[in-house]
Amino acid sequence: MVEPANARKRPRDWLVRWSRPALGLVLPLLLAAAWEFAVRAGFSPGRLVPPPSVIYDTFCDLAAAGELQRHSVATLGRVGAGFALGIASGTLLGVLAGYFGIVFRLLDPMLQALRAIPSIAWVPLFILWFGIFEASKVILIAVGVFFPVYLGVVGAVMSVDRRIVDVGRAFRLNNVQMVYHILLPAVLPSYVIALRSGLGLGWMFVVAAEFMGASEGLGFLLVDGQQLGKPAQIVAAIVAFAIIGKTTDWLLVIATAPLLRWQDRFARDAER
């Protein structure tokens, strides 16, 4: 009995699917091994930048005490709430400004001016307005998420090829069909990129947010490590930011992948 061609491809497809993400670990692992070797060989004292073995021990100590989990969950909650608020407002205003010219001319100049304000400049104002508790932190993160989402949506809506819209009208599509079959496929690729950019800025803004009198969170671990002179704890918090931030970005890519299956890139990946 001849084995089907699809069945023969499945083990190889599974191997390729899992080997591609693993390639992204090669460079960080090589750098970590090189730094570990440099410290153990005496080329560096490793006091200000501890070797990976010391950072791993710090991770284990923080995890055993429950501190790593508690601070990670607190930071994740703030980023999640700020991300949701930022994408909701950024998407709404982006659609309005991209679709209606009068809204764009009224709104965009002010938003572009606000976008140039550094994140740390909002901190004292938000403390005065919302206090030092969770509301000010979540709103600061939402500000960071808002601008890339808004810009991505505005650019995507304004760059829709009018000839495609004319084709939809030629086929007598109604407004709902026009949005579903024409506008959404044209806007979604840029929108997904805007979401990923917004999520990245959300993780950057959460550090500034957790400097605002936070008693828990990975940003608090950074400040605590600085004040107590614990460079291993500082680096461990930075690594935790990198790992959790990359994981959330990966989950966002997986969640939005079904929306982009029609693109040639996904078709080529499926054939490999």
Most confident of 2-16, 27-41, 77-91: 77-91
272 pLDDT higher than 50? no
Question: What b/e string do you get for 211-234 counting C-beta neighbours within 10 Å, with b at 16 or more?
Answer: bbebebbbbbbbbbbeeeebbbbb
Q: How many domains would you assign to the chain?
A: 2
pLDDT at 257: 82
For residues 218 and 160, state if they share a domain: yes
For residues 20 and 66, state if they share a domain: no
pLDDT at 1: 44
Domain at 148, CATH number? 1.10.3720.10
For residues 68 and 34, state if they share a domain: no
For residues 71 and 174, state if they share a domain: yes
Among 86-90, 118-122, 161-165, 254-258, the range scoring the smallest mean pLDDT is 161-165
18 pLDDT higher than 80? no
For residues 57 and 11, state if they share a domain: no
Cα–Cα distance between 237 and 218 in angstroms, integer? 6
DSSP the chain: -PPPHHHHHHHHHHHHHHHHHHHTTHHHHHHHHHHHHHHHTTS---SSS--HHHHHHHHHHHHHTTHHHHHHHHHHHHHHHHHHHHHHHHHHHHHHHHH-HHHHHHHHHHHHHHHTS-HHHHHHHHHHHH-SSHHHHHHHHHHHHHHHHHHHHHHHHHTS-HHHHHHHHHTT--HHHHIIIIIHHHHHHHHHHHHHHHHHHHHHHHHHHHTTT-SSSHHHHHHHHHHTT-HHHHHHHHHHHHHHHHHHHHHHHHHHGGGGTTSHHHHHHHH-
For residues 150 and 27, state if they share a domain: no
270 pLDDT higher than 50? no
pLDDT at 181: 74
For residues 21 and 87, state if they share a domain: no
Q: What is the residue-averaged pLDDT of the chain? A: 83
Mean pLDDT of 75-96: 93
For residues 140 and 18, state if they share a domain: no
For residues 181 and 213, state if they share a domain: yes
For residues 96 and 177, state if they share a domain: yes
For residues 131 and 28, state if they share a domain: no
For residues 63 and 149, state if they share a domain: yes
Q: In this predicted model, which residue has the larger pLDDT, 21 or 190? A: 190
pLDDT at 19: 64
**Residue range(s) defining the domain that contains residue 86:** 52-271
